[in-house]
Amino acid sequence: MLPPFRLARPRTLDEALDAIGDDRVPYCGGTELLLAMRAGLTRPEALVDLKSLPELQGIAVDGGHVVVGGTERHMDIAAHSVIRKHLPMLARVEHGVGNARVRAQGSIAGNLCFAEPKSDVGPALMAFGASVTLASPTGRREVTVEELIQGPYFADKEPDELLVDVRVPIPSTATRGAYLKYQITERPTVGVAVVHDPEAGTCRLVVGAVGEVPTVWTGTSPDEIDPDAIAEEVDPTPDLTGTERYKRHITGVYVRRVLEQLADVKAGK
Amino acid sequence: MTAHETEQATQHGPGAGHGTAFWGRAHEAPSEEFRTVGRSVRRRDLVEKVLGTAKYTVDVTMPGMLHARVVRSDRAHAKILNIETSKALSQPDVVAVVTADDLVHLRARFGHIISDHFILGTGKVRYFGEPVAIVLAESRAAAYDAAELVDVSYEDLPAVMTAAEALVKDAPLVHDVLYDATADATFKELTESEGEEDEGPHLTNVAHEVTIGWGDVDEAFANAHLVVETETHYPMLYGYAMEPYNAVASYNETGLTVITTAQHPYMVRDDLARIFDLPLAKVRVQAPYLGGGYGTKSYTKVEPLAAVASWVVGRPVKLMLTVDEAIYTTRVDDGQMRMRTAFDAEGRILARDYELVMDSGAYADNSPLVLAKSVNRAFGPYRVPALRGRGRSVYTNTSPASSYRGFGAPQGNLCGETNLDQAADQLGISRREIRRRNLVKWGEEILPKNRGIDADLIADLDMVVDSLERDRKDEPYYGIGFGTAASDAGAYPISTAQVKVETDGSVIVLSGSTEMGQGSTSLLAQVAAEEFGIDIHKVSVIQSDTGAVAYERTTGASRTTTLAGLALVRACADARTKLREMAAELWSCDVSEVSDGPGVVNGPEGKSLDLGKVVTRWFGGSAGEVTGVGLVRREGVTKEMPPFWETGMVGVGVKVDVETGQITLDQLVTCADVGFAINPQAVEAQDLGAATQGLGGALFEELVYDGPQLANANVVDYRVPRAGDMARKIDLLLAERRDGVGPYGAKGAGEGQLNPVGGAVASAVAQAIGRWPSRLPLTPERVWRLANNISDDD
Amino acid sequence: MAADQLAQVEISVEVNGTVVERVVEPRTLLVDFLREDLGLTGTKQSCLLEVCGVCTVLVDGRPVSSCTSLAVDADGHKVTTVEGLSDGKTMHPLQESFVDNHALQCGFCTPGFLMMSKALLDESPDVDREEIVEYLDGNICRCTGYQPIVQAVEQVAAQMRQEREVAR
């Protein structure tokens, strides 16, 4: 049973920005918010439905970026030709989020704003160097996904802000990406995303799920990556899927394995 | 995660029984001997269920009903100082808040073995999650909202959160009084222990203690060639029937009616009658389809809550539990066991000596019986000349434990079977061979004065091991493990059935058994169709309503085929006898000249009458009905206990990733020795389901306490098997040697293939990594530490 | 202009082909709307955490956890439940296949598995066994051990493939 609340259904972004506030929270699929409400963790006065806002929809190329509207669902992102063409690793990650129901209902903005530590999407976006656009009544600002995800269940977004879209710089066609996760229960224990763009001379590896926030490593090439060093760097949260010792060990294993997988990935994948 | 290749299980020839390919027996040409039984008929309950028209308790409503929400303790052990209900009562649509104070004129405790179970926390609470109050409102939302406003104040008491803590001398007592044993004769016989001392009231947290033994154990150990000692821990589980407990109750001037998710409506009726001091005839308990049972819905659970609520307010009450509430209603006993076995130089068992401790939670429920069965089953289906077995079921301040599929067998089997394998390894004998040397043969006793084993275990073992070895992979870290079990199953042989023959020759079966997915409805229809020689579509089955059908003691212990089936066969025979007598009268001939035919009665000079016509002509109009009654008690074929042995014969092949500790299940082979499979496809279905639940306990499932409460009272953090965990190769074998006392030589099925799974997986992993696990579930971390010799403190 | 904060919402939902109009509280879950307001009790609830799939219904052909989905969010959309699978006279091929393959026992998880399977086959008719297992890994069954469910869906997929080939 959910606690009682009122519903607002704005038709434009401005109406939506007007409607949200401290106790009036935005939602799209509700896959995280409704669970939190049912668990008694949050009791908003009102929910503001973002699903009809055209400004938050769409997946397209804009200049050198892929732009994904905040209310786009995982299922649609995974299947979209633009994502498959320019960010194939992200398409694979989106295809593997949760289960088919979560993919059909859940939105990318909801996922990022909820900042669930055991998430696949945030780390994958971080490996691509993605950022998000936050809109408020006073204007807009752009922050990297890394900056957005501040802590466990804590996104750096004010109550009067909405996540409008996710912007991913389109990497060169020589780029290779891989994502590997170790999942033994309902949520991943560790997920490692890596993107190597040899033309730009950038390589980013992100370890997610194992700690409270993802850990990012940046360099020029995967050859520079020392899995053991990364394993030393992460701060694992012990839980029923593993102690700190075990999770640290698994991190090293999966960094190694994702790099092996990356080596087999063809350019542009 | 893991890739699965499509794999067709291989055909192979039978040993002494029918070895079959996956689903093979179900698709073989049925024998000519029978018309209906022995065939994988289309189950009528499955059709309703796929259409979405099947009714479960959760779908039941009663006019004018209120909705209930339980307020639960947030302490493990505490005195209840005060329950503040005024805020809740002032909410709109809230009708009442029921507490133990409202129940003082009732017998507000229940429990079919030990009546220690308070309906609502009284004086103190004994576990986190214990019901303390019931909020009743016009809507579910109002009840939920108001429940949060009930304010209970407690004074904490020291708690015992593990069996070890509870057994410490002078530990805080979960129960500080002695209760009456409710136990009727049937329970006394089953839980009786020899050598139990009847001292004065020196109270401990031991809820029940059992010892069994024979022969000279100490002498055997003194003369042994090899002694192997093994200690294991089987986890605390949650059965997770996908439908949580719920009940709809109506107490009014005609009596009490409860519709509920109960496997044993008649046992629940007994408890409710005692609580309200009502005659049994005034208490009606009905169970529609159950959304899973597996023993977790055996005996009384939430019915008293709904019933007392209805009694207090004078309106029907519907109580629906969520999954976390269900976990805090009933869980599964764990098992800490230590066993020593003495062997001779050939690996023959000379003696087994073991001790078992079960953490049974805050209330006894069925744990004393689970304990007794666990002790009976721990030594395995082997020849054991000398034995000493002891078990204790211990109260702790945790969720109450009770029956689950396997009923104590898995907890002990893990220890006994890995112990045997360890001996085999040490003696340089194969694990198959050590079993061949020790398994009892058909007819041999394993429990003194009990029915001899009614299965050919060695033949079954060979079928399983042959299948495993044939598909063994020659790869590093691959291991095969297998185990055997025999359970004194069937519970108690008291059963009745009725069958009514209508004026058109169609037949209605009345049975107190329940349908929880195991296939009882369809099975009873098959038996009746077979006995009358009529089409199965002319048979309907009405079950699980104490006011409208025939008495059935319990549905569990894999007993329905054998015992309810036997009662039904007798009921059909009784009806047939009556119809023959009626026909003889109609034909003015002697009864000896009349005989049964398919759907007819045959008489002299080629006369023949449809059963329906016998009815109408005898009654003298298009009216009437002939009822047959069948009774089963401990006599004749069911005099010896157990009514049948339920065997388990399971093998697995696993591959271990030693870098992560993850186990991939490559093979799963089971062999059910069922005497006769009335519906082969249904038996195979039950076997795979049972084995899968066993794999849950072996690989994934474990309830974990964190302080006073569970860390994982939900199915995100309590991990059950999923489709992706399926074995690459699944081989379900049936052995049918017509050696049971049930209809057509049938025995029971449904639990056996769970029992040896834990031990089989542990042995397979041991073979794969070269070290013996002693604790389930074999989570990746546990396996990783074991395989890489990393201590738990590291 | 601000959007109103509604305590009651008028919704219009097409359920199994029939348009229903109701006024509901925003807090009303889709599963409760279907079961209690509309009497469609075929859809069940279990985990309440979106992981078991027992409550799966289709919204515009896509699977959702109706236990964690608002009725107001179905406004203007098409909902299909297990009751909408058969046309009242013949069962859907998935329903037939589930019965034939004994892909259920207690049946509580079955409506959810049926709706998930339908969504899968409608979206990707050419699935292989591995894809079926991966998709249905999102639903829990406690009775069957999954193999017969996968087999049942495989058979319908094969049947559909054959029908498509014949149609060419």
- The three-state secondary structure class of B486 is strand
| Among B268, B288, B320, residue at a domain's last position | B320
Residue B12's pLDDT band (boundaries 50, 70, 90)?
A: very low
**A neighbours by CB contacts (3+ pairs under 8 Å):** B, C
Residue A202's pLDDT band (boundaries 50, 70, 90)?
A: very high
Among chain C residues, CA nearest to A17? C2
User: What letter would DSSP give residue B770?
Assistant: S
**B537 and B437 co-located in one domain:** no
B30 pLDDT more than 90: no
pLDDT in tens, A158-188: 999 999 999 999 999 999 999 999 999 999 9
Taking contacts as CB-CB distances below 8 angstroms, the residues of chain B near C8 are: none
**B neighbours by CB contacts (3+ pairs under 8 Å):** A, C
**C79 and C17 co-located in one domain:** yes
Partner-chain contact A246 B784, CB within 8 Å: yes
CB A114 within 8 A of CB A153: yes
Among chain C residues, CA nearest to A33? C68
pLDDT recorded at residue B11? 28
| Among C22, C53, C84, residue at a domain's last position | C84
> Residue B9 and residue B728: Cα distance in Å, rounded?
9
Residue B146's pLDDT band (boundaries 50, 70, 90)?
A: very high
**C neighbours by CB contacts (3+ pairs under 8 Å):** A, B
Task: Provide the CATH number for the domain around residue B392.
Answer: 3.30.365.10
User: What letter would DSSP give residue A121?
Assistant: H
Looking at the domain assignment, is residue B117 inside a domain? yes
The mean-pLDDT minimum among B413-417, C4-8, C28-32 falls in C4-8
Query: At a CB cut-off of 8 Å and minimum separation 6, what does B220 contact?
Result: B342, B350, B351, B385, B386
Helices C110-123 & C93-100 angle (0-180, nearest 10): 130
pLDDT recorded at residue B25? 58
Query: At a CB cut-off of 8 Å and minimum separation 6, what does B24 contact?
Result: B9, B11
Helices C129-136 & C147-167 angle (0-180, nearest 10): 130
> Residue A189 and residue A187: Cα distance in Å, rounded?
6
Which residue pairs from C71-74 have beta carbons closer than 8 angstroms and sit at least 24 positions apart in sequence?
C71/C11, C71/C13, C71/C24, C71/C28, C71/C29, C71/C30, C71/C32, C71/C33, C71/C37, C72/A7, C72/A49, C72/C9, C72/C11, C72/C24, C72/C26, C72/C28, C73/A30, C73/A49, C73/A51, C73/C30, C74/C11, C74/C13, C74/C30, C74/C33
**C67 and C110 co-located in one domain:** no
Closest-CA distance, A137 to chain B, in angstroms, reads 35
* Residue C61 sits at the chain A interface (C-beta within 8 Å): no
Query: At a CB cut-off of 8 Å and minimum separation 6, what does B646 contact?
Result: B486, B487, B489, B490, B558, B747, B748, B749, B751, B752
B83 pLDDT more than 90: yes
pLDDT in tens, B226-277: 999 999 999 999 999 999 999 999 999 999 999 999 999 999 999 999 999 9
Helical (H) or strand (E) element with B317: strand B317-320
| Among C84, C114, C147, residue at a domain's last position | C84
pLDDT in tens, B271-323: 999 999 999 999 999 999 999 999 999 999 999 999 999 999 999 999 999 99
**C64 and C101 co-located in one domain:** no
CB B422 within 8 A of CB B413: no
Taking contacts as CB-CB distances below 8 angstroms, the residues of chain A near B662 are: 184
**B346 and B450 co-located in one domain:** yes
**C74 and C104 co-located in one domain:** no
Partner-chain contact C73 A34, CB within 8 Å: no
CB B229 within 8 A of CB B338: yes
Partner-chain contact C25 A19, CB within 8 Å: no
The two tokens of residue B649 are 């014969």
Taking contacts as CB-CB distances below 8 angstroms, the residues of chain C near A30 are: 68-70, 73
Among chain B residues, CA nearest to C129? B6
Range of the domain at B577: 494-633
Partner-chain contact A8 C6, CB within 8 Å: yes
- Residue B194's Cβ-count burial label (10 Å; 0-12, 13-18, 19+) is exposed
pLDDT recorded at residue B123? 96
**B274 and B410 co-located in one domain:** no
Residue B197's pLDDT band (boundaries 50, 70, 90)?
A: very low
> Residue B702 and residue A2: Cα distance in Å, rounded?
29
pLDDT recorded at residue C168? 80
Chain C 42-101, residues with CB within 8 Å of chain B CB atoms: 42-49, 51-52, 54, 81-83, 85-86, 91, 95, 98-100
Taking contacts as CB-CB distances below 8 angstroms, the residues of chain A near B719 are: 184-186
Looking at the domain assignment, is residue B41 inside a domain? no
* Residue C129 sits at the chain B interface (C-beta within 8 Å): yes
pLDDT recorded at residue B67? 98
> Residue B318 and residue B322: Cα distance in Å, rounded?
13
pLDDT recorded at residue C88? 83
Instruction: Calculate the average pLDDT of chain C.
Output: 96
pLDDT in tens, B93-108: 999 999 999 999 999 9
> Residue C52 and residue C69: Cα distance in Å, rounded?
15
Residues B398-426, mean pLDDT to the nearest whole number: 97
Residue B179's pLDDT band (boundaries 50, 70, 90)?
A: confident
**C65 and C28 co-located in one domain:** yes
CATH class of domain segment(s) A176-266: alpha beta
Task: Provide the CATH number for the domain around residue B86.
Answer: 3.90.1170.50
pLDDT recorded at residue C167? 87
**C47 and C17 co-located in one domain:** yes
Task: Provide the CATH number for the domain around residue C79.
Answer: 3.10.20.30
Among chain A residues, CA nearest to C139? A99
CA A197 to chain centre: 20
CA A40 to chain centre: 25
Measured in degrees and rounded to the nearest 5, phi and psi for residue B679 equal -130, 95
> Residue B142 and residue B145: Cα distance in Å, rounded?
5
- Residue B123's Cβ-count burial label (10 Å; 0-12, 13-18, 19+) is exposed
Closest-CA distance, B660 to chain A, in angstroms, reads 7
Looking at the domain assignment, is residue B224 inside a domain? no
**B347 and B487 co-located in one domain:** yes
Closest-CA distance, A2 to chain B, in angstroms, reads 8
pLDDT recorded at residue B186? 62
* Residue A238 sits at the chain B interface (C-beta within 8 Å): no
The mean-pLDDT minimum among B220-234, B735-749, C46-60 falls in B735-749
For CA atoms B143, B148, B154, B159, the dihedral sign is: positive
- Order of strands, sheet of A162-169, starting from the edge strand that comes earlier in the sequence: A59-62, A65-69, A162-169, A131-136, A139-144
Q: What pTM value is reported for the model?
A: 0.96
**C71 and C105 co-located in one domain:** no
**B280 and B348 co-located in one domain:** no
Residue C5, strand partner residues: A8
Partner-chain contact B244 C46, CB within 8 Å: yes
**B361 and B442 co-located in one domain:** yes
**C103 and C37 co-located in one domain:** no
Choose among B40, B518, B722: nearest Cβ to C137: B722
Partner-chain contact C106 B59, CB within 8 Å: no
Looking at the domain assignment, is residue B205 inside a domain? no
**B587 and B710 co-located in one domain:** no
Choose among C3, C65, C120: nearest Cβ to A15: C3
Residue type, B517: G
Instruction: Calculate the average pLDDT of chain B.
Output: 93
Please name the residue that has the structure tokens 């259904």. Answer: A9
pLDDT recorded at residue B29? 66
Residue A269's pLDDT band (boundaries 50, 70, 90)?
A: confident
B8 pLDDT more than 60: no
User: What letter would DSSP give residue B289?
Assistant: B
pLDDT in tens, A81-139: 999 999 999 999 999 999 999 999 999 999 999 999 999 999 999 999 999 999 999 99
Looking at the domain assignment, is residue B128 inside a domain? yes
Residue A268's pLDDT band (boundaries 50, 70, 90)?
A: confident
**B515 and B572 co-located in one domain:** yes
Taking contacts as CB-CB distances below 8 angstroms, the residues of chain C near B652 are: none
Among the listed residues B774, B777, B766, B787, the one whose alpha carbon sits nearest the alpha carbon of residue B415: B774
Domain extent listing, chain A: 6-169, 176-266
**B556 and B471 co-located in one domain:** no
Taking contacts as CB-CB distances below 8 angstroms, the residues of chain C near B322 are: 48
Same fold, A6-169 and A176-266: no
**B399 and B529 co-located in one domain:** no
| Cis amide linkage into residue B642, ω under 30° from 0 | yes
The mean-pLDDT minimum among B199-203, B379-383, B649-653 falls in B199-203
Please name the residue that has the structure tokens 């804590």. Answer: A154
Architecture of domain A6-169: 2-Layer Sandwich (3.30)
pLDDT over 70 percentage in chain B: 94
Chain C 75-114, residues with CB within 8 Å of chain A CB atoms: none
* Residue B627 sits at the chain C interface (C-beta within 8 Å): no
Partner-chain contact A1 B144, CB within 8 Å: yes
pLDDT recorded at residue B194? 37
| Among C64, C84, C104, residue at a domain's last position | C84
Task: Provide the CATH number for the domain around residue C137.
Answer: 1.10.150.120
- Beta-strand pair B705-706/B709-710: antiparallel
Chain B 686-725, residues with CB within 8 Å of chain C CB atoms: 686, 688-689, 691-693, 714-716, 720-724
Number of domains in chain C: 2
> Residue B33 and residue B608: Cα distance in Å, rounded?
23
**C112 and C157 co-located in one domain:** yes
Among the listed residues A125, A129, A132, the one whose alpha carbon sits nearest the alpha carbon of residue A93: A125
Residues B55-67, mean pLDDT to the nearest whole number: 98
B188 pLDDT more than 70: no
Range of the domain at C148: 93-167
Number of domains in chain B: 3
**C77 and C105 co-located in one domain:** no
Taking contacts as CB-CB distances below 8 angstroms, the residues of chain C near A24 are: 5
The two tokens of residue C20 are 């229903």
Query: At a CB cut-off of 8 Å and minimum separation 6, what does C61 contact?
Result: C78, C80, C119, C122, C123
pLDDT recorded at residue B178? 80
B768 pLDDT more than 60: yes
**C20 and C56 co-located in one domain:** yes
Longest CA–CA span in chain C (Å) reads 58
C-alpha angle C31-C35-C41 in degrees, rounded to nearest 5: 115
What ipTM did this prediction achieve?
Answer: 0.97
**B342 and B408 co-located in one domain:** yes
Taking contacts as CB-CB distances below 8 angstroms, the residues of chain A near B144 are: 1
Closest-CA distance, B723 to chain C, in angstroms, reads 5
Closest-CA distance, A240 to chain C, in angstroms, reads 17
Partner-chain contact A2 C27, CB within 8 Å: yes
**C22 and C71 co-located in one domain:** yes
pLDDT recorded at residue A121? 98
Closest-CA distance, C138 to chain A, in angstroms, reads 5
